[in-house]
Amino acid sequence: MGGIRTSSDSDAVEALRRFSRFYTRRLGLLDDVLLKSEFSLTEARVLYELSRREGLTAADLVRELRADAGYLSRILKAFEARGFVTRAPAPGDARQTLLTLTDLGRAAYNPLDRAARDQAAALLDGLAPDDLGRLTAALKTVERLLDDPAPASAPYTLRTHRVGDIGWIVHRQGVLYAREYGWDETYEALVAEIAANFVKNFDPARERCWVAEREGEIVGSVFLVKESDAVARLRLLYVEPSARGLGLGRRLTRECIRFARAKGYKTLTLWTNDVLVSARRIYESAGFRLVSEQPHRSFGRDLVGQTWELEL
């Protein structure tokens, strides 16, 4: 890994360290025991994992907790001596030893679990519903960004739009196109206008917005709008960087094509710009053909606009 390269990197490091100090202080994680119990933080986490999952081995716990194997072995031996944990050979593989939390171990852990829930509830007490929603979303974002990368085959789900989605899509398109292509705020204004018109004039029998979600986060979207009884337009296709490589852009495009055919449209059209190479490849592979292009000055850049069509 490289060192700190920019002031933004340095700011992020300091912000993360500051939050870590704040969080450990508020939850008392630096105390010798957790929540005035008899257990350390690591011991409590071992009990938590054993209480939630069956068939765990010591190796599973080492990987999950990223703990020192020797330290974890001492914890398990102490728990076994107190009757909290039992060991048994795994069915079909005597080399593997499965750990099971006993009733005595569960009775020791349950008060700790209740205390942890009460502590979390006390920290959240008094927050307004909107603030609770913002906090929940922020915590999910932190976990997603700092966790190990998800496998390329990680699933996503598609749904129709709901309240709050349109504003988020406008925001993310503005941010991403500014970051990746240097487009100015006039592009965000155009997206806002298109999205607002879609909502105000929405015809659910002939139009659709698909929103892609992954682990509770929006990772892409596309709109299909009616131009006439015979022509529909694909608009505002985008995929978050975190979800690229999953084939999501192609999937969203296929959904538009399928829907347009099912509703009896004869032509599906779209307008894009030549710099959006990945999107153009998706359209071309789906059968769209380039019918016209024209240079223009928009979004603070010299661009070449393109119209593509697919005969349905």
Mean pLDDT of 25-34: 74
Q: Give per-residue pLDDT as tens, 168-181.
A: 999 999 999 999 99
Give the tokens for residue 265: 């449209």
Q: Give per-residue pLDDT as tens, 54-86.
A: 778 888 888 888 888 898 889 999 999 999 999
Ranking 17-31, 107-121, 213-227 by mean pLDDT, the lowest is: 17-31
Half-sphere exposure of 180 (CA within 13 A, CB side): 15
CB distance 261 to 244 below 8 Å = no
Query: φ and ψ at 265, to 5 degrees?
Result: -70, 150
Mean pLDDT of 43-64: 84
Q: How confident is the model at residue 1 (pLDDT cuts 50, 70, 90)?
A: very low
Query: φ and ψ at 192, to 5 degrees?
Result: -60, -40
Which percentage of the chain shows pLDDT scores above 70? 94
Distance CA 292, CA 84 (A): 73
Residue 152 has pLDDT above 90, yes or no: no
> Alpha helices of 28-157 — where are they, by DSSP H?
41-52, 58-65, 69-81, 103-124, 129-146
Radius of gyration of the chain, Cα coordinates, nearest whole angstrom: 26
Contacts of 272 (CB under 8 A, 6+ apart): 279, 280, 283, 305, 306, 308
CA 312 to chain centre: 34
Domain edges within the chain: 7-146, 157-311
Which percentage of the chain shows pLDDT scores above 90? 51
Ranking 91-105, 180-194, 222-236, 254-268 by mean pLDDT, the lowest is: 91-105
More confident residue, 91 or 191: 191
Contacts of 114 (CB under 8 A, 6+ apart): none
Report the pLDDT value the prediction gives residue 156, as an integer from 0 to 100: 85
Residue-averaged pLDDT of the chain: 87
The tokens 């071992």 sit on which residue?
46
| Strands of the 267-273 sheet, one edge to the other | 157-160, 208-214, 217-226, 231-239, 267-273, 301-311, 289-298
Mean pLDDT of 100-123: 88
Q: Does domain 7-146 have CATH number 2.60.120.1140?
A: no
Query: φ and ψ at 270, to 5 degrees?
Result: -160, 160
Distance CA 79, CA 42 (A): 13
Ranking 37-51, 143-157, 207-221, 292-306 by mean pLDDT, the lowest is: 143-157
Task: Extract the runs of DSSP E, i.e. beta strands, from the chain.
Answer: 85-90, 93-101, 157-160, 208-214, 217-226, 231-239, 267-273, 289-298, 301-311
Q: Does domain 157-311 have CATH number 3.40.630.30?
A: yes
Distance CA 39, CA 26 (A): 18
Distance CA 126, CA 67 (A): 36
Q: How confident is the model at residue 6 (pLDDT cuts 50, 70, 90)?
A: low
Region of 126 please: left (phi>0), alpha (psi -120 to 50) or beta: left
Report the pLDDT value the prediction gives residue 149, as an integer from 0 to 100: 58
Distance CA 280, CA 290 (A): 9
